[in-house]
Structure 1
């Protein structure tokens, strides 16, 4: 099996003490073979990164940050730079989340600057893209997220794009009142993203799905061949919830390897 990504972003939740407890509990619950064929990650708030790095230790869990500025230093009150994040030995950085775009004025242009800065400092960008309810109703979901990807990756080489991750997070599916996309709904958008990435010369970039992922739908989403991973919200904010979801996905994917595979949707 190719590497399947499973991660969670905590948003503005968890103290340092809560972070330590979460990671200790997660390590105790992880399946023994969780590090094989799977890339697991957590994205705590900035204040908990040091504690998270220490608590993770040698466990097969990658560490990410929720955002960063594009400049290495400067008069940007309240911002965090890549230089600062390097001290925590993070592996990836989440960029372009729809909440950042909506509430904090992030644009495609500033996200592009952040992606370039993350790559310059050796981080793997996790680019979040999503369609609005209006774009979905108009049948423009694929076009909307492909546009975001192309603008975020503008000016990058094929090699640089290949070091990135993309997370498709429908705006209408995230948050407390979000309704998750079914595998059938997510499939054409993921296929459109794969086509765009192939056109950009980076067909191997994983495309994750995020948006009200939970124990009930995780296995079905993971079974969709155009989906390369899951970016989980509140269902993974407890260690036992995240561990249970990981186990369910692993079991479903193992079962799938023992049955004839479905044809992968054409991606150009």
Structure 2
């Protein structure tokens, strides 16, 4: 059997309850929902997290939240705790996405606190790292990824079952108008990240690629040695688009 990639999508601030239901109905009815050819995950807005978790219960699809605080409870208006994520059926937490770093003052420090909290509560921590256009053009990508990776892992207690996945998402490749990273470039950077992790832990962690993943480049990206899966945005916001990428990738890697 070939590589078993992670293939997931975050809906960001999209989908009503009815739209979430429609996506889950299509996904749950597909053969990929029960397949072990890939590790699928879906990260909806918190408004439908419980609903999506219930709809995909009984499948192999992991459901997660787009953010979680580092405290278990308290006077943190508008925030969601790791305990609340678990209570709503989430098994994964996305942490440190560049949009949160850019617009909501997420820092390496808060990413480290959130990563440790997620792991402490038995959640999968999906930690996003990435370089800006300015950092990329200045040749600082490797240094930026090293700093962000070391910070994210700095507080994690590696008890049994602790799971952290990294996702390299170049800021210049994300969103509408983003430029997909060359697969060779992404592979090299992710290899460097794995070297950093191995230096810290004595073993690598999975590193996914995210940033303008689409039906045209998904197989080339997922086939690379150091790319352990794909974290997809708008190309996977419709269930048919998501499942199309899953089918293309898994068929190519089988």
TM-score interval (norm. to shorter) = over 0.9
- 1:205 aligned partner: 205
The 1:205–1:61 alpha-carbon spacing in structure 2 relative to 1, beyond 3 Å, is same
Tell me the distance in 2 between the aligned counterparts of 1:105 and 1:80: 16
- 1:16 aligned partner: 17
- 1:148 aligned partner: 148
CA apart distance, 1:188: 1.6
- 1:241 aligned partner: 241
The 1:86–1:157 alpha-carbon spacing in structure 2 relative to 1, beyond 3 Å, is closer
Tell me the distance in 2 between the aligned counterparts of 1:88 and 1:139: 42
The 1:119–1:157 alpha-carbon spacing in structure 2 relative to 1, beyond 3 Å, is closer
Tell me the distance in 1 between the aligned counterparts of 2:80 and 2:195: 34
Task: Please state whether the residue corresponding to 1:224 is helix, strand or coil.
Answer: coil
Q: Is the 8 A contact 1:168 1:207 kept in 2?
A: yes
Q: After superposition, what is the alpha-carbon deviation per residue over 1:59-112, rounded to whole angstroms, capped at 9, x for unaligned?
A: 111001000111111111111111111112211100000000010011111111
State yes or no: 1:7 paired with 2:8: yes
- 2:26 aligned partner: 25
Q: Is the 8 A contact 1:119 1:160 kept in 2?
A: no
Task: Please state whether the residue corresponding to 2:167 is helix, strand or coil.
Answer: strand
Runs of 5+ unmatched residues, structure 2: none
Deviates more, 1:83-92 or 1:156-165: 156-165
Aligned positions of 1:119-158 closer than 5 A = 119-158=119-158
Task: Please state whether the residue corresponding to 1:172 is helix, strand or coil.
Answer: helix
Name the TM-score, length of structure 1 as normaliser.
0.90
- 2:104 aligned partner: 104
Tell me the distance in 2 between the aligned counterparts of 1:242 and 1:168: 19
Tell me the distance in 1 between the aligned counterparts of 2:18 and 2:120: 32
- 2:171 aligned partner: 171
Q: After superposition, what is the alpha-carbon deviation per residue over 1:122-170, rounded to whole angstroms, capped at 9, x for unaligned?
A: 1010000000111111221111111101011113345579610000000
Q: CA RMSD in A?
A: 1.6
- 1:113 aligned partner: 113
Tell me the distance in 2 between the aligned counterparts of 1:100 and 1:31: 31
The 1:197–1:134 alpha-carbon spacing in structure 2 relative to 1, beyond 3 Å, is same
Tell me the distance in 2 between the aligned counterparts of 1:61 and 1:135: 35
Q: Is the 8 A contact 1:183 1:220 kept in 2?
A: yes
Tell me the distance in 2 between the aligned counterparts of 1:202 and 1:109: 23
Q: Is the 8 A contact 1:4 1:228 kept in 2?
A: yes
- 1:64 aligned partner: 64
CA apart distance, 1:31: 3.8
Aligned positions of 1:245-264 closer than 5 A = 245-254=245-254
Name the TM-score, length of structure 2 as normaliser.
0.95
